[in-house]
Structure 1
Amino acid sequence: MIKIYHNNRCSKSRSGLQILENSGKEFEVVKYLENTPSEKELKEIINLLGIEPIALVRKNEVIWKSDFKNKDLSNDDIIKAMVENPKLIERPIVINGDKAVIGRPPEAISEII
């Protein structure tokens, strides 16, 4: 089943959700700010995306700039930071089987559904 990691306060995430709704396919919505992925889940998502953990970080968030920017962080440190501060996770993330995409732009979601 298709899964979207969603934040309703984000316009790109809302656009991604609309694309899924218009597709007519079944999908699951994960409100990741309320139901934060574990470190293991986040590692699996990053692996599916085929990116380094830093590429999933919202670097303009205040918490990133104040607590993490310009520090020498390992991939595990970055993942822990996202688990402890889920606002740092880029959104939306859509997973369909063994494919995943960050919906920026939201139209990228169409490539995997």
Structure 2
Amino acid sequence: MIKIYHNSRCGKSRECLAFLEDSGKEFEVIKYLENVPTLNELKSIIEKLNIKPIELVRQKEKIWIENFKNKTMSEDEIIQAMISSPILIERPIIVNGNKAVIARPLENALTIL
């Protein structure tokens, strides 16, 4: 089943959710700020995205700038930072089977639906 990792306060995420609703496909909404992905879930998403963990981090967030910017961190430490502060996770993320995309821009969603 298709999953969207969604933040309802984010306009791009709401736009992506509306796109999925209009697609007619079944999907599950995961409000990742409330239901924070586990270490294994986040590692799986990163693997499906085929990116490095740092590429999933919203590096302009105040939390990142104040606590992590310019620090040397392992990939696991970066993932742990996203788990402890899920606002750092880029959004929206759509997962469909073994593939995932960050739907920024929205057109990226078309590549896996």
* Smaller-chain TM-score bracket: over 0.9
Q: What CA distance in whole angstroms lies between the structure 1 residues aligned with 2:112 and 2:12?
A: 17
1:99 and 2:99 are equivalent in the alignment: yes
Q: What CA distance in whole angstroms lies between the structure 1 residues aligned with 2:68 and 2:106?
A: 27
Structure 2 residue identity aligned to 1:58: R
Question: 2:42 maps to which residue?
Answer: 42
Superposed, 1:60-75 pairs within 5 Å as 60-75=60-75
Structure 2 residue identity aligned to 1:99: K
Equivalent residues of 1:6, 1:31 under 8 A apart = yes
Question: 1:29 maps to which residue?
Answer: 29
**Superposition CA RMSD, Å:** 0.5
- Per the TM alignment, residue 19 of structure 1 is displaced from its structure 2 partner at its CA by 1.1
Structure 1 residue identity aligned to 2:76: D
Moved over 2 A (4+): none
Unmatched tracts of structure 2, length 5 or more: none
How does the TM-score come out when normalised to structure 1?
0.99
Q: What CA distance in whole angstroms lies between the structure 1 residues aligned with 2:45 and 2:86?
A: 14
Question: 1:7 maps to which residue?
Answer: 7
Structure 2 residue identity aligned to 1:7: N
Unmatched tracts of structure 1, length 5 or more: none
1:54 and 2:54 are equivalent in the alignment: yes
Question: 1:17 maps to which residue?
Answer: 17
Q: What CA distance in whole angstroms lies between the structure 1 residues aligned with 2:99 and 2:30?
A: 17
Which SS does the other structure have where 1:82 is aligned? helix
Question: 2:108 maps to which residue?
Answer: 108
Matched positions, count? 113
**Identity %, equivalent residues:** 62
